């Protein structure tokens, strides 16, 4: 194997006289400008080493043999290998090569071997290049490069056909129409919403969680998801980063895992809050913007439409699952968007981005697939007001246990108690309305239900004290019953 460059012209070699043969001065023995003058009348251009053991100085082995010293094949001036040749440079560290012919890209000698000065006299002299000499060589190289550049430009100037007559690129015409961003455009809505959206970081012993939030009130109240700041209840540090880049520590005001909502507060005044709109006015097909910090990318805006309403979404762990009567959107939502606002074309918040769908078989969220879910703004308003005023939130119940194994039409009330809890709570709302164990609930307020989660999220979308109408089947008979929802406290 050889490191010789097959594309480089061959390097002239000067014959090296043997020990018993008189030396004859070579025609090209004049020293190069960079080289130290060679001693003796027979100074010649060095011959590259021909074997690995010639990378270092040879000592005389027999009487009468003259000592010789070998230079690195590329001469005195050491060059730095280009990044593209890093692999070759790494290979050179393994030792001297079988052939030491030079390449134009640098020295091919062993980097551990010491360079030697050219000397064919009776004395072997170790060649060294002092700091001043190095500076002079580098300066000469720079001056030569500059001179070459000036000469090249002069040559091009003398050959008008070698360069374009005019390299100016087309420019917009004077008075050309500017991009219009009228009120209600995506750009205008984003510009109004972004200053009121924050990035949230929670540092706990087990790691760092990030999410998004929206400013609720000018005096520092911020709304986000419970799962974003859940560790704050155990003393984790919460930091809020605002749109202008400044940061503030935050404290937890209140949270509820039942709705996956939380309120935190920073010690700051004069903030610009976003307006919570009426989510009951939302219809499928409405244009929306999702604003937040997906994957830590702050102040990100994505667009889409409302894809569906009243999606029953169960988010979180089984012990603290949130049941959301969600707004579905195809606006891109990714991890980190949690807690950020879903904004309509009027610039009002109609939902709090909270969850994304996962493909079958995936154990963790992998990113946007066009199926994102937001907590309706009416639910967020009611819960946030409770958290600010009391630190806790409530949710409504009808007082029954549902049978998860039932596969028929509607949702069936359990026939037996579960872990000591009766199927129908005595004197609870359902009991007072006449619902019995084993009854099947077919609809709520005229909306059919086919799985337990649909019934639960429909009830959670109401407020304690509201009344609902249930279509109930007992045996072969169906009837409507009116149930007044009862309040249960949750949160911390």
Is 338 labeled as catalytic in the residue annotation? yes
Q: What is the pLDDT of residue 75?
A: 37
94 classed as catalytic? no
Measured distance CA(402)–CA(416) in Å, rounded: 10
Mean pLDDT of 120-131: 43
Specify the higher pLDDT residue, 438 or 77.
Answer: 438
Domain boundaries, the chain: 1-127, 183-391, 396-490
In the residue annotation, 330 being an active-site residue is answered as: no
Q: In the CATH scheme, what is the homologous superfamily, with its name and number, of domain 396-490?
A: PDZ domain (2.30.42.10)
Per DSSP, the residues of 269-296 read -S--PPPB--GGG--TT-EEEEEE-GGG
Architecture field, domain 183-391: Beta Barrel (2.40)
Share in percent of the chain as helix, strand, coil (round to 5): 20, 25, 50
Give residue 48's pLDDT band: very low, low, confident or very high (50, 70, 90).
Answer: very low
Q: Is the pLDDT of residue 273 over 60?
A: yes
Ranking 41-45, 95-99, 264-268, 298-302 by mean pLDDT, the lowest is: 95-99
Kindly name the residue from 227, 414, 443, 453 that is annotated as catalytic: 227
Centre a 10 Å sphere on the Cβ of residue 9 and count the other Cβ atoms it contains.
7
Do domains 183-391 and 396-490 share one topology? The answer is no
Q: Whole-angstrom Cα distance, residue 428 to residue 443?
A: 19
Given 92, 260, 403, 439, the catalytic residue:
260
300 is written with which tokens? 């990100």
- Statement: residue 243 has pLDDT above 80: yes
pLDDT-derived band at 88, boundaries 50, 70, 90: very low
**β-strand 197-204 against 237-241: which pairing, if any?**
antiparallel
Single out the residue of 94, 116, 111, 112 nearest to residue 48, CA to CA. 116
Q: How far apart are CA 271 and CA 302, in angstroms?
A: 24
34: tokens are 């960079």
Most confident range, picked from 2-11, 141-150, 410-419: 410-419
Please give the full DSSP string across 374-388, using - where no structure is assigned: EEEHHHHHHHHHHHH
Query: What's the length of the chain?
Result: 492
User: Residue 431: which H helix or E strand, with range?
Assistant: helix 429-433
């Amino acid at each position: 194997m050889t490191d010789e460059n097959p594309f480089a012209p061959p390097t002239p070699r000067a014959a090296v006289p043997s020990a018993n043969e008189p030396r004859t001065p070579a025609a090209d023995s004049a020293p190069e400008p960079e080289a130290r003058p060679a001693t003796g009348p027979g100074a010649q251009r060095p011959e590259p080493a021909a074997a690995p053991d010639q990378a270092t100085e040879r000592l005389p082995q027999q009487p009468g043999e003259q000592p010789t010293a070998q230079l690195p094949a590329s001469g005195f001036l050491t060059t730095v290998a280009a990044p593209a040749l890093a692999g070759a440079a790494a290979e050179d560290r393994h030792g001297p090569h079988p052939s030491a012919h030079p390449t134009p890209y640098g020295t091919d000698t062993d980097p551990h071997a010491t360079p030697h000065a050219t000397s064919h006299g009776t004395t072997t002299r170790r060649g060294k290049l002092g700091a001043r000499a190095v500076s002079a060589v580098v300066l000469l190289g720079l001056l030569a490069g500059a001179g070459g550049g000036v000469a090249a430009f002069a040559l091009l100037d003398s050959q008008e056909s070698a360069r374009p007559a005019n390299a100016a690129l087309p420019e917009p015409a004077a008075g050309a129409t500017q991009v219009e961003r009228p009120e209600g455009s995506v750009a205008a809505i984003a510009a109004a919403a972004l200053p009121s959206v924050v990035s949230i970081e929670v540092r706990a012993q087990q790691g760092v969680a990030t999410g998004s939030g929206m400013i609720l009130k000018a005096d520092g109240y911020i709304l986000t998801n419970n799962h974003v700041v859940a560790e704050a209840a155990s003393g984790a540090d919460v930091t809020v980063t605002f749109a202008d880049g400044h940061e503030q520590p935050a404290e937890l005001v209140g949270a509820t895992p039942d709705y996956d909502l939380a309120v935190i507060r920073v010690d700051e005044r004069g903030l610009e809050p976003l307006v919570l709109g009426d989510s009951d006015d939302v219809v499928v097909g409405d244009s929306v913007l999702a604003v937040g910090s997906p994957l830590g990318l702050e102040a990100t805006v994505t667009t889409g439409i409302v894809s569906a309403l009243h999606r029953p979404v169960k988010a979180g762990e089984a012990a603290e699952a949130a049941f959301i009567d969600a707004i579905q959107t195809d606006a891109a939502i990714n991890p980190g968007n949690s807690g950020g606002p879903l904004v309509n074309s009027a610039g009002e918040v109609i939902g709090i981005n909270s969850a994304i769908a996962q493909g079958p078989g995936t154990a963790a969220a992998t990113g946007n697939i066009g199926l994102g879910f937001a907590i309706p703004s009416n639910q967020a308003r009611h819960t946030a007001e409770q958290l600010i005023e009391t630190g806790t939130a409530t949710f409504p119940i009808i007082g029954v246990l549902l049978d998860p194994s039932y596969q028929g039409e509607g949702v069936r009330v359990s026939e037996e108690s579960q872990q000591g809890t009766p199927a129908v709570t005595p004197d609870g709302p359902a009991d007072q309305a006449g619902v019995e164990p084993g009854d099947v609930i077919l609809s709520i307020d005229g909306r059919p239900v086919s799985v337990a989660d649909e019934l639960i999220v429909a009830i959670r979308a109401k407020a304690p004290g509201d009344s609902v109408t249930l279509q109930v089947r007992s045996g072969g008979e169906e009837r409507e019953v009116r149930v007044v929802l009862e309040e249960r406290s949750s949160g911390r």
